[in-house]
Amino acid sequence: MLIISVSIFAMLSIKNLCKSYHYAEVRQDVLHQLEFEMSAASSVALLGESGSGKSTLLHLIAGLDRPDSGEINFAGYRIHSERESILAELRRSQMSLVFQQFHLIPTLSILDNIRFQAALCQRFDNHYETELIDRLGLAGQLDKYPHQLSRGQQQRVAIARSLLHKPQLVLADEPTGNLDENSSLEVMGLFSDLVKQAGSSLLMVTHSQAMAEFMDRRVWLHNGKLAETG
């Protein structure tokens, strides 16, 4: 078993994590005794084949799902066993999630969407908001609604929303999966720069080697375990 590099200052640490699903009474182990650590202000690309359990791992870290066994410790919290209200509080103030499908609130304006999570955790920085909007090229779109924007623009809104409250950890699941290659590279470059500038960590699920190159580390999920790659 290959042990992922360990730091005593790990912001996120996962130990002996197991998760399985049952499909038509057949048990399928998705994660098996998985070990992982991630330090603050770092970025990691999580690679793997389709169905290897990348998204499942991301959901477990975000506290959106519960593991069968094992531990997930994040910023002093035991994600695997915390109450739903604590997990909600953590997601609200210490984490953010970016998905391939953007998950914007369709009935709120672009500006309200960007501000939403920062408003929820009452951590609001006007200067940073302006900077984010400018750097993501959204200045002319603020009064519009999500359906009036292209997919690339919608993903930029999702990125702005995920960073405005400067979370410790950004979890991204194929954030450029819906975009063409050029837009993907452009959005990804911006995204990784902004994450670094915010001092956040980024754990990104991707199956694109090109996107993974933007990250400090790359790990490969195979047979329920993680292995460090080049």
173 φ, ψ (degrees, to nearest 5): -115, 105
Site for other proteins contains 6 (CB under 8 A): no
Closest distance to other proteins from the beta carbon of 107 (Å): 4
Binding pattern for the stretch 143-172 against other proteins, x by CB under 8 A and - elsewhere: --x----xxxx-------------------
For the CA atoms of 183, 184, 187, 189, the dihedral, rounded to the nearest 10 degrees, stands at: -120
Show contacts with other proteins in window 171-190 (CB under 8 A): 179-180, 183
Task: For residue 164, give every residue at least 6 positions away whose Cβ sits within 8 Å of its Cβ, in sequence order, or none.
Answer: 114, 115, 117, 118, 124, 125, 128, 129, 132
Choose the binding region for other proteins from 18-26, 97-105, 199-207, 219-227 (rule: CB under 8 A): 97-105
Q: Is 3 helix (H, G, I), strand (E, B) or coil?
A: coil
CB 136 within 8 A of CB 156: yes
Q: Which of 38, 95, 114, 194 binds other proteins (CB under 8 A)?
A: 95
Show contacts with other proteins in window 27-66 (CB under 8 A): 59, 62, 64-65
Q: Which of 39, 42, 43, 93 binds other proteins (CB under 8 A)?
A: 93
Pick 43 or 154: Cβ nearer other proteins: 154
Please report the sign of the dihedral spanned by the C-alpha atoms of residue 103, residue 108, residue 109, residue 111. Answer: negative
Show contacts with other proteins in window 105-144 (CB under 8 A): 105-108, 112, 116-117, 119-122
Q: Is 147 helix (H, G, I), strand (E, B) or coil?
A: helix
Q: Is 186 helix (H, G, I), strand (E, B) or coil?
A: helix
Task: For residue 205, give every residue at least 6 positions away whose Cβ sits within 8 Å of its Cβ, in sequence order, or none.
Answer: 46, 54, 55, 57, 58, 172, 173, 174
H or E stretch including 153? helix 151-163
Closest distance to other proteins from the beta carbon of 199 (Å): 19
Closest distance to other proteins from the beta carbon of 97 (Å): 5
Site for other proteins contains 97 (CB under 8 A): yes
Interface residues toward other proteins, by CB under 8 A: 59, 62, 64-65, 84-85, 87-93, 95-97, 99, 103-108, 112, 116-117, 119-122, 145, 150-153, 179-180, 183
